[in-house]
Every structure is written in structure tokens, then in C-alpha cells.
Structure 1
């Protein structure tokens, strides 16, 4: 056996930890409950299970790629380290003032989210750098030393340093770091010039504060994980999935943990893009639903859409602007609190509300019989017949229908005067409609018609709800790939090593300076390549370039892709043509007579993507037969129906299954509604489409 072919993917979710082992082309996978106090315990449990399945020793693993929600959860739950912010005098309240925009214009009682760091944790120094990077007020080292002593004696574990315009001149920030290192070497430091060297101080300061806030937690966890792996004889390299859809070294992840905030969902988007490439699909709606959240992403031309700013921990109905902005490269997706563990309640208007609060794995939904008393989405799925209580998660534990019914009755049925099944139906419809609305809004924001898209569903809960979601959205085709229950972990194993470096340098096209641009892009490319080399010193590296451009006076930019040739030989006319083409595609017209400006420059170094094998798609040839049936509730019909139950592993290639039907496997369950039919593709993917009579 070739040792280089044994790779492990691990995804820590809010409820389950997914572990996938690939020995050559053969996958082995398992799901274990996440252990919050020590997440590495669940990893080790899953590692031993898949190694036993494969008949190998843990020491034979040659590469581990890991993604986690720990960073996200720490920001949402405000459970990070005691952190201080040092900023320029006069800018102490930037992270509290935000951008002064209202995310809900007509709510007279609107409450803005509390800043990550309270005011008495924010400190200032007298210094000033202008918008050209020139020093207006020099920093006083003696003042810095006195401030650092004050911070160190107050017991802070971590310090964020964010000074005005430090992305153009980092001398003052690096001096502060040097003083902290000399006087309090145990305090961790995050500099905005390294974490997010971009304009817009609110986003930059907040991102740096978030990095500092979670840095001690993530460094401690990653150190413990490496130690536990060493105890098991696992000596291979450990890499982390970052939010932009690539892989970075463990050491880089520990230094910049804010880049891990969307690592799990990013792995899912990579997984969906890989399936899209195998099936030759140009427009895909990626639907990832786990135990805590649901993630929806648009994938065009087999490439997930990316962004350089996103929000975590939205507090007001998931509205844009109500969360914590993080300014890092990220795969653009909408994420809502709708997972198997999402809890339901009745609000003051006597309406069922679901999420964002989740039961997680401790105690979990009521049906887990681990102490949970409130109804969760999984409880509704069980009562509606979608889940087999004796064969959940591969039979690793049984579900209690009695507990699920009791929770639904007590918290929904009594208040709303409805029976248990109706309460479960209402809960499921609310969560499905929430996800459908999120998908519609995301599509409208991107100018897309979802009727032209194919849905790819994965995650432990997505195949249970994807069929109903397609009915609501008018999506005619749904693919549930093999390994869907652990899709994000598989995505980690498909991702390239990559790192994106960016920097804000303001320039108008009328002042276009080609030599300076060439030097800037080369510097960014070199910076990005250094990070990739820490993962694989000998790999081939490709470099992708982007510039963010806008008309003078506009508030936001659009990303413009450059070829390597255009980056090496920058030309103002070429830049303008590229900008006008993309601007016209987005807004329908150009603005005549206006100067154009560039605000952010970016270089992404990446190893070549894996070339997926194309699937020879075929129509089903024969109807699958089964002796097993189970009653399920069909939401579109509003009644219970008799559904065939099939084991996914026993479905022959090209076998056809007519809905209503249930297709079960160890890590998830696929529900085929009455309006749909499914057939098994040669690679094991379940291809679900509208029945012919439904099209008429």
C-alpha cells in the first residue's frame, strides 16, 4: 500500500464530528457526537472507528485536513479570551459606532449588537499616519511602554492592535508588538496590518479584534490536537481548511484563526463544486444542512462565488448588517440557524419560530434522550416518519419517539391547540420555508433565477429536507452525492493548498502607475506563495489576481479578475475595459465621464485543483423493489402516505425509485417526495427529478 494515499478529513460541527478516511480511492467514514469540552476527543473516537473499518493503524495516516466551527462558536457565544484593543487616539469607539447604518430602518426600538470588546478593554495611543502612509504624529515609545504595562498588569491574554492607515505604513503597529513581546512575552498579539491590511477601519479593527479574541483558544486546541495525535503515533502533517476554500498549515491557522471562521461550510462548497464538475453542471445551488446551521451557496461554472467581507453572528432575523463583519477572503454563502438541532418555540404572535438556538449534541434534541426537553427539527422529522428511530447514525444510538412527541406537545401543541403530528408538520414547514426564503434572497441579490439551477444536497440533515426545498423553490433536479452525510469532510480532501494576500492602496486610473502596480502585485503574490510553501514546499503554484474597482465617489467596489499577463504588464486601458464589462453585466450600463479608482489589490496562490472524473450519466433502466414500507408525512400533499424504504447500498446502478420513498444510509436519510422520482447514477449519486406527470 502506498502510504501517500492515506488521508483523513475531519469536520467538527455543532452536533456531529464527521471523519472521512481515504485509502487510495476507497473512502471510510463515520459520524460521532461532538465533545464540546475537548473537541479532540471526538476526533480521536472517529479516527479509531474509520481506521478499524479500513484495517489500518492510525500511524499509517499521512495527511490530516481539518475544519472546525470552534472559532465561529467562540465569536457567537462570546467565549474567547480576555482581549484588549490598542488603537489611535480618537478612534476608541470605532467598533461600537459601526458604520452608523440601520439594518432595520423602521424598527424604532432597534438595538445594535454589542461590540466584541467592551469600552474599558479598548485603549489608545497618540500617533497618526495619513491616507498616503506618511507619518503625521510619531509614536512615543515611552507612552507605549506605559500602556503595555497597564494592559499586562490587568491580566489580558491577547491584544489586538489596529491603528489608522496601518495597511499603508505598519511601523507603529510593529513597534507596539515589539514592546509587548519584550515586556509580556506570554501575551498574544494580532496586528491589523497582518490580519486584514485593508481600508475601512471598522471592518479592519473588528476583524483584528476577532482574531485576537479567539487566538488563545484556537492555539491551545490545535496544540492539544497535535499532542493527542502524536500519542496515537500519528506523525503526519495537519492542515486546516480556511474560509476561502483552500488549505493552510496548522502554524498559519494558529496565527490567523479568524480565517477558520467559515472553514466547515467552505469545505462543503468545495465538495459541491467537485460534484458539479463531475456532472458538467454550470449552475448549482449548494445546500448544506447539519445539526446547527444550514448553508446555501451559488456555484457557477463549477466555482463557488467568493467575497472579501462577510458577517458572523447576525442578531436580527439574519439581516445583513446586524452581525459582526469579518474582512477576510471567504466563499460567499448565506448561513441561517436551521439545523437538525435547531430549537422551536411559539412567539408572542402565536407563530412557530425555529432557531437560531440549537440543542447541539449536549443535550441534543429531545429524541436523543440525553436530557433535552425542547422540540428540535430532528424531533419533528422523527414524528413525521422521516427517520428510523432504531437506525439513526448507523444504529449508533436509538431515538426516542416518546420524548419527541412529549416535547412537541408541551412546547407547541398545547399553546397552539394542535395534535403532535400537526405541530411537527408546522415546525418542519417553518424551517423549510426559512431556508427557501434565504435561498430566494441570496439568488435575487446575485441576479440569479433558481429555476435554472440544480441543487446538490449534503450534510446530515439536508437530504431529509432537500426534496421539499426543491418543491418550494421550483428547482427540478436534486443530486445527493455518495458520502453526502459527511460532505464537508470530503470537501477538505478535494481542496487545494491556497492563500490569498490583499492590500489596500488607493489609485485612480487617471493616475495609473504601471511600475508601482507591477511591484505591488508581485509582492502580494510572493507573500501568498510563502504561505502555500509552508504546506507543500515542492508543489506547482498557480497565482490568481484580482483588483477591486469602483467609480469615484461610490461606496463599494466590484472585483475584477486579471490574468497573469495583465498583472505582469498592467495597462490602464485594459483595466478600464475589464471594469466596464463587469459593471455593465451587474448594473446594465456604464457611467460616462466618471473616473475609476482601485482600492484593494489581491493575489491568491494555489496548487492546481484536482481534475475530477466525468460521470457517464444515464437514465434509470429498472424499477427498484423492496418489501419495506413506512408511513411518512408528505408536506406538499398535507397528508400521510405509504413510502417505500430502500437501502442506498443495495440500490443497483441505474435503478429507479418512485416517490414517495425513503433511501437510508448510515450517515443520512434521503426523502423522495410524491412529486419526484430518483435513480442511482453509476457513481452512487442519487439523482432526483420531477415525475413526468408533474411537468405537464
Structure 2
């Protein structure tokens, strides 16, 4: 009788590093690995790192039960404009909707603020004769012969992918489906995306922007996923490849290839899900995640053990941190905020002579100056090395040696521009990037009507633990959790994700006047579609869970809030309960109620999920001495702002602890440095830390 496979592998590809975790579901044992990303072909680092890890732990690909993957490929394809040559078919008279947008200035101080160029250029945006009204009734039939001729002409121009977005297709997708039938029959090699499938919502501009992006990235994402499947099969893996989507679940490889737009926040979502996992495991229902990697830092608010969610994002912003300057994408997504503050973020002086860090990043190639791979500009990693926080001989567990002289040279140049020495410049870089992260996190949290002082911080990513205590001090938070294997914790989040897919239907109108028969038909259609996708991925009918909700607002408002609704047939008798839930959530968000205005429903949503994966980490018991002295492997001089008293910075000797030999119950007093292969934790003077039964570092942050 064959033994049951118990090993699950997750792979998270970031802009600088590719992370791996191997989890044994039988014992809870966790193994981790980290490798430099190969930007020209991410799958190369994926397969090479996989080989290295499996060889290191003595496991063959045949022993894996599951592989889950998160990637930034979809987002990068849009940002770098490396997608397919894409055309748009749209209703006559609506060719320029991608240029019109919302005609809203995102920067009130810049009347010439530039918007991103449309993904589809004007000469590839083709009008077709047809018209459906707002109720889904046909006013003018679709001219199939005209459409077929247009498709032939586009193929002659070298178009690889076609987006279809017709007016009011969210109410009736018949014309879009007919167009797809024409394209498939005449040009079966063309990739096709329909707005009625990618984003069946009322917002015409956003719907068209979403389907255009989906069509733009579909060929590349499909080829990539199929290539990874093929590479894994050639290695001997015979199981299923699952791909992380933006809302914190996973899709089968086939579903991910068909709906690539759902993968835009695949990588960041994995980190947020990991934070949610630690929230539940540690009994800390309210957390702020700080996921700082080599290229960016991400924060997410965890409430009740769950990451907060949103109904859309922007990509390819002209100004990275200015809302409205990017391309709107309407997909379910975890509510994260991204900051251009990673280990590879480049430090420079702006036109006013002020020190800035990021958003430009050195990435994996050429990387920070200290990587000695050709980079010469000063980065956060260079600053951390010069401040004594990083061990040049133990980066990536000793598999990569950092060049201190190169970091010194890069920061000498920056320091001379600032009128200070290299150490002063390094501390400036560290302080600015930390303040940037704290400010972004504060705005994100306060925007949700919450107080950051009431939250603990869970810090991970290769650079997160080096900055977490200082971020916590700025926010007023007093507790920081650093998981074991912090450098690859985001990859672990992939293993906590259930198979899931959320569908949406726009049916705008007053809640009290809803056509409940139509609403129930929409829910039945969404359920059938979701169950079909999960069944194809191997989920049994009995393991499927349904979660229904609605996007609602008060009449006259333009922003909705998502409100849970009962699963099952709805009727007028449910209005009172749904209304009460709306007002409760509204009160929590805005600290007031407005009972005089009627409630309006914009969209109905249904999340179809499979079973929650079993993910438990090995718990340790305290045995013998709980002293951390045996884990000290030396000392190193490190710089702190309060090393010699308030506002008296300088270098002090810090004990260096080996993270892997710190026993359960060990307590550490700052200043101290805790090293592991994938990350380094900095404990400031005045702070203290202890090791819990899961070998997490629990740091108590002082106010100084």
C-alpha cells in the first residue's frame, strides 16, 4: 500500500528573490530556501532553486503532494508593457473610452498631470455595430460579418490577443459571446477576453480597462504557467500546480491561465495570508503585516484573523503613490498598501536636495552595490550593511558574500552630496525608509478608522525584521512578532490558501425594490460557475463553501462598502437584516449612521471556496536551560540612534544570536542582532525579546 504524500511546496517569486517553503502536513516541520530571481526568465530561478532545496533536504519531486505558486509576472507585464499586441472590439461610438477615463484630476496641484497610456493604442481599438440597453435588451443586432472582417484585418496587423467590451454587456453577454464564437471559429490561435467574464460590472471605463489588461497579459501568463507545469513534470512531479490569486485563494493552473487578471496581486496576497495565518495561530486577532522584500514593502490590516479586502486596485501608476494615476482593475483583492521601500530601493537626492529612498529599485540585477553584480547606486541593503546590521559573510546563509567596500563607496558618494560621512548617509537612508513605511501604514490603518497603537506587527520578508522595531516605535505599537524563516514567510501563505473563486453581477437599484427573482438567478449562475471551476480542480461537491455579499451605498454616494448577505434564496423579508448589517459596518467605518437615506445595491457577489488547507507548524517544548547565551556566536558593532542616550547615536557592541539554536523561552535584551539564513532581526537598545513555542521572536518595543 502506498504511503500518503505529506509534503507541500510553495514558491513565491518576487522582484529580487524567489522564496521556497516545504511543509510536512504530518509533522508540521518547515524547511525554507531563498534564491536570487532571474528577471529575464523567472522560471529558471524557480526550477534551479527547487532543485537546490530538494537536494538540500533529501526529497525527490515525486514525494510532493502539492505545489502552490505566487508570482508578480502579471503585474510586471503591465508595468513594463511587455504583454501581447492587443486589440479592443467595442460598441460603435465608444472607441475612446480608455482615453476618456473618469476625466478626474488626481493631483489638484498639477493641472497637466499625466495619465498612463492605454494598454490598447487607438489604431487597434475597433468599433462594431451593435447596441444593448441598460436592461439587457437588444436595440441593434450584432453585425457578425462586419466583426469578422475587423478581426481578419487585426490579424494582418499582427494582433495576438483581443479584448471585447460592449456597452451594457454586464447585463447581457450574448453579443460578446457571439463575437468570441466568430473569433474562435476563424482565428483559433487568437487569445480572447470578454468583459462580461473578466469584470461583469456596470462601470464601463473600469470594465473595459480590466478586460484590456486581461487580454494583454493572457498569452504571456498562459505560456509561463504551462511552462512551469511542464518543467515540474519533467522533474518528476506528478501532482497539481495551484496559483495564488489576488483575493487570498488559489486557482488551478488552467483557471489561472484563463483568468490571468486575477493574479495581479498574487505575490503580495500570499504575504497577507501568511500574516492572517500567524494571527490565528498566535491568538492575536488584530495585526499589521510588514512584508519588506528586496523591491517593495507591503502592509495589510488583519482583523479577526482575516486580511481586509477590496474590490479593485490600480496598476502602472504614473505616480506610484497617487491614487487615480494608474489603470483601474476591478477584481477581488486583499486590501494592501505597497511602498517602494525594499532592500534594493535606491537612495538619492531630489531636486530640492532632500534624501529620498525608492521607488526605483536595483532589483536582482544589477542589485545593491554590495552584491558586487554591477550595481553602484546606494540602496537600503548597502546602508544596513554599513550600519553593522548585516553579516557580509552570512547573507543567504553564507551562499552569497556581501562587499562592504562597495557599499562604503556607494554611500561615500551619497554622503558627500549630503555633506556628511558614509555612516551618516547610511543612517539617513535607514531612517527615511523606515519613516516611509510607518507613514504609509499609519495612513492605511487610520483610513479604516483604526488606531495603530492597538495592533501588533508581524514582520517578515528578507528586510522586514531589520526595520520592524523602528516602524513599531514610530506607530506607537509595542509588540512585534518575527516568525522563524521570516525571509520566506510570504511563500508559506500560499499553503494557507483554499481553492476559491469569486463571481460578481451588477444589478444596480434600491435594496427595497430589488427584483429578488433576478437576484436569485444571478446567485444560481455564479454558484454554478464557481462550483464548476472547483470541481475541475478536484474539489468534491460536499467540500464547497458559499459566501454571499453585496456592494452597497447610500443613495447619492459614489463609494460602496461590502456587506455580507445570507446564502440561499433571498426575498423582501431579508431587507431589514441586510439593512441593519449595512448600517453597522457603515458606523464602524465612518463613526456615524445616516438612517434617512435609502440603501442602494450596486453589485451582488458570491465566493465559492474549497476546504481550508491543513497548515500547522511544529510546536516545541522548553527543555533544559532557557538561556540564550549558548546561541551567541560572536559580537558586531552596530549603529543605533539612541546607543549612548537620547539622540546620541553611535556604534555599540551587539551580541549576535544564531536564530536556529535559540531555545523556547529564551529572553534577549537589546541591543542584539538575531541572524538566520534568509533574514536578520534587529533588536534596538531598550527593547527585549523572547522565543515562543513556535520559535517566533516576540519583541517588546520600548517607547524610546
Task: Name the residue aligned to 2:219.
Answer: 216
1:201 to 204, 219, 226: 204
Task: Name the residue aligned to 1:603.
Answer: 606
Please give the secondary structure, in 1, of the residue aligned with 2:324.
coil
Distance in 2, Cα, partners of 1:266 & 1:251? 20
Task: Name the residue aligned to 1:88.
Answer: 91
1:642 aligns with 2:668: no
1:579 to 563, 577, 582: 582
TM-fit CA distance, 1:64: 0.6
Residues 13-63 of structure 1: per-residue CA shift (max 9 Å, x gap): 101111112233222211011112221111111211221233121122121
Query: What aligned pairs does 1:45-56 form with structure 2 within 5 A after superposition?
Result: 45-56=48-59
Task: Name the residue aligned to 2:6.
Answer: 5
TM-fit CA distance, 1:178: 1.4
Please give the secondary structure, in 2, of the residue aligned with 1:494.
coil
Please give the secondary structure, in 2, of the residue aligned with 1:679.
strand
Please give the secondary structure, in 1, of the residue aligned with 2:99.
helix
TM-fit CA distance, 1:635: 3.6
Distance in 1, Cα, partners of 2:151 & 2:94? 18
Task: Name the residue aligned to 2:466.
Answer: 464
Residues 533-572 of structure 1: per-residue CA shift (max 9 Å, x gap): 2222326111111011112222121111123257588622
Distance in 1, Cα, partners of 2:625 & 2:97? 64
C-alpha contact (below 8 Å) 2:225/2:253 kept by paired residues = yes
C-alpha contact (below 8 Å) 1:168/1:504 kept by paired residues = yes
Distance in 2, Cα, partners of 1:570 & 1:578? 14
Distance in 1, Cα, partners of 2:209 & 2:112? 25
Worse overlay, 508-517 or 11-20: 508-517
Please give the secondary structure, in 2, of the residue aligned with 1:571.
helix
Distance verdict in 2 for CA 1:647–1:560, change over 3 Å: same
1:629 to 619, 630, 635: 635
Worse overlay, 622-631 or 655-664: 622-631
2:128 to 117, 122, 125: 125
Task: Name the residue aligned to 1:305.
Answer: 308
TM-fit CA distance, 1:134: 1.2
TM-score (norm 1): 0.96
Residues 382-429 of structure 1: per-residue CA shift (max 9 Å, x gap): 11111100100111110001111112222x122222211111111111
Task: Name the residue aligned to 1:165.
Answer: 168
Distance in 2, Cα, partners of 1:566 & 1:438? 42
TM-fit CA distance, 1:74: 1.0
C-alpha contact (below 8 Å) 1:498/1:604 kept by paired residues = yes
TM-fit CA distance, 1:108: 3.5
Distance in 1, Cα, partners of 2:621 & 2:110? 52
Task: Name the residue aligned to 1:359.
Answer: 362
Distance in 2, Cα, partners of 1:26 & 1:465? 28
Please give the secondary structure, in 2, of the residue aligned with 1:604.
strand
C-alpha contact (below 8 Å) 1:344/1:355 kept by paired residues = yes
Distance verdict in 2 for CA 1:570–1:456, change over 3 Å: farther
Residues 361-401 of structure 1: per-residue CA shift (max 9 Å, x gap): 11111111111111111111111111100100111110001
C-alpha contact (below 8 Å) 1:308/1:329 kept by paired residues = yes
Query: What aligned pairs does 1:419-458 form with structure 2 within 5 A after superposition?
Result: 419-458=421-460
Residues 446-470 of structure 1: per-residue CA shift (max 9 Å, x gap): 1110000000011111011111111
C-alpha contact (below 8 Å) 2:520/2:569 kept by paired residues = no
Task: Name the residue aligned to 1:274.
Answer: 277
Please give the secondary structure, in 2, of the residue aligned with 1:209.
helix
1:258 aligns with 2:261: yes
Distance in 2, Cα, partners of 1:133 & 1:172? 11
Query: What aligned pairs does 1:219-618 form with structure 2 within 5 A after superposition?
Result: 219-410=222-413, 412-538=414-540, 540-564=543-567, 567=570, 571-610=574-613
User: Unaligned 5+ residue runs, structure 2?
Assistant: none
1:690 aligns with 2:690: no
TM-fit CA distance, 1:503: 1.1
C-alpha contact (below 8 Å) 2:130/2:141 kept by paired residues = yes
TM-fit CA distance, 1:641: 2.2
Distance in 2, Cα, partners of 1:528 & 1:465? 41
Worse overlay, 485-494 or 603-612: 603-612
**TM-align CA RMSD:** 2.0
Worse overlay, 377-386 or 566-575: 566-575
Please give the secondary structure, in 2, of the residue aligned with 1:18.
strand
C-alpha contact (below 8 Å) 1:207/1:327 kept by paired residues = yes
Distance in 2, Cα, partners of 1:197 & 1:461? 39
Distance verdict in 2 for CA 1:578–1:23, change over 3 Å: closer
C-alpha contact (below 8 Å) 1:192/1:208 kept by paired residues = yes
Please give the secondary structure, in 2, of the residue aligned with 1:414.
helix
TM-fit CA distance, 1:142: 1.4
TM-fit CA distance, 1:580: 2.2
Distance verdict in 2 for CA 1:571–1:336, change over 3 Å: same
Please give the secondary structure, in 1, of the residue aligned with 2:673.
strand
Distance verdict in 2 for CA 1:613–1:153, change over 3 Å: closer
Please give the secondary structure, in 1, of the residue aligned with 2:53.
helix
C-alpha contact (below 8 Å) 1:512/1:572 kept by paired residues = no
C-alpha contact (below 8 Å) 2:105/2:111 kept by paired residues = no
Distance in 1, Cα, partners of 2:59 & 2:587? 56
C-alpha contact (below 8 Å) 2:7/2:24 kept by paired residues = yes
1:103 aligns with 2:106: yes
C-alpha contact (below 8 Å) 2:74/2:264 kept by paired residues = yes
Distance in 2, Cα, partners of 1:658 & 1:80? 51
C-alpha contact (below 8 Å) 1:468/1:635 kept by paired residues = no
Task: Name the residue aligned to 2:24.
Answer: 23
TM-fit CA distance, 1:3: 3.9
TM-score (norm 2): 0.95
C-alpha contact (below 8 Å) 1:336/1:435 kept by paired residues = yes
C-alpha contact (below 8 Å) 1:278/1:612 kept by paired residues = no
Worse overlay, 50-59 or 417-426: 50-59
User: Unaligned 5+ residue runs, structure 1?
Assistant: none
Task: Name the residue aligned to 1:657.
Answer: 668
Distance in 2, Cα, partners of 1:512 & 1:225? 46
1:175 to 174, 178, 181: 178
Distance in 2, Cα, partners of 1:537 & 1:612? 18
Please give the secondary structure, in 2, of the residue aligned with 1:4.
coil
C-alpha contact (below 8 Å) 1:19/1:31 kept by paired residues = yes
Distance in 1, Cα, partners of 2:665 & 2:595? 56
Distance verdict in 2 for CA 1:317–1:218, change over 3 Å: closer
